[in-house]
Structure 1
Amino acid sequence: MEPVEINAGAWYLRALRADERVSDVPALTDLGITDPVAFVDAADAGWAEESRYTWAVCEPTTGELLSLITADAGGPPTGSARDGGQRSLDDALPVVQRFLDSL
């Protein structure tokens, strides 16, 4: 499956990125991920294999990752937020659950 983008009201959920146009590497490092490039690659593989779904919860005008949500296939979504990003996580988790329920 290709990554699914979700509009969650005040937040925009998208696939993780680590390329020349958009890089979530600094934000993932803030979240304590020690190898963010490998994490992005694993997130892409999870979507392709339909085994794990991962979203960057972003501020829609800047695309900045404020929180991160993951869900193993068949499991509930979980996440973590950067400093100041807890509201984005709280608002987006139920939206992701509705998406997962529709699979």
Structure 2
Amino acid sequence: MEPVEINAGAYYLRAIRNDSRFDDRPRLVEGFTDPEFVRWLPHLRVSDLASAGEYIARRDADWAADRRYSWAVADPVTGVMLGEVLLKEVDLAAGTAEAGVWAHPDARGKGMITQALAAVLRFAFGGLGLTEVTYQHSAGNEASGRVAAKLGFTTFRDHGLAVPADIVVLVARNAPGEPVVG
């Protein structure tokens, strides 16, 4: 699938880019090297412009392969990248995916991720026809917990996933005939 752009109200969701219009690489490096980001997502490494370019190339390939859909959450006027929301582990046949998010240090605490993820959930359930989206976060990550709670995610106890004990797994479901989440 080609990347889909989404109007998320106060924010604009677009593909992460490095082209003549937008160079998101510096914002990726700033976000991924921020101590708070590293604290919660230590397995993700983007430490320089080259690795940021590789990250963007992987996201482009993921869209084409229908395995992960990723959006830069951008300021609608300037286009500056404020964070990222994504659907990973996408299984269109099964109707499932996992949501992921992060915010640039200067964009945290403003409700941006909640608004952006709500728009992505509407796309996931309404546009892609997904029926279940999971969301995982570290037990101590209160900001991620607030996002999940605001969007109606509930604890997913019988998930059968091999996850560490300090990871909280939540789920949002969109049953036939039910309103779309968000």
TM range (shorter): over 0.9
> C-alpha separation between the residues in 2 aligned to 1:101 and 1:77?
12
State the one-letter code of the partner of 2:54.
Answer: A
Contact 1:7 1:13 in 2 (8 A): yes
TM-score (norm 2): 0.54
Deviation at residue 64 of structure 1 after TM alignment:
0.3
2:56 aligned partner? 40
The corresponding residue for 1:81 is 103
Letter in 2 for 1:3: P
Letter in 1 for 2:87: A
Report which structure shows greater RCO (CA 8 Å, sep ≥6): 1
Pick the aligned partner of 1:92 from 89, 102, 116: 116
Determine which structure has more spread, i.e. the larger CA radius of gyration. Answer: 2
Give the C-alpha shift of residue 20 in structure 1: 2.8
The within-5 A match list for 1:1-103 is 1-32=1-32, 33-34=46-47, 35-72=51-88, 73=90, 74-86=96-108, 87-102=111-126, 103=128
Moved over 2 A (4+): none
Rounded Cα–Cα distance in structure 2 between residues aligned with 1:53 and 1:30 = 22
Structure 1, gaps ≥5 residues long: none
Aligned length: 103
Residue 90 of structure 1 aligns to a residue in which SS?
helix
Question: TM-score scaled by structure 1?
Answer: 0.93
Identical-residue share of aligned pairs (%)? 39
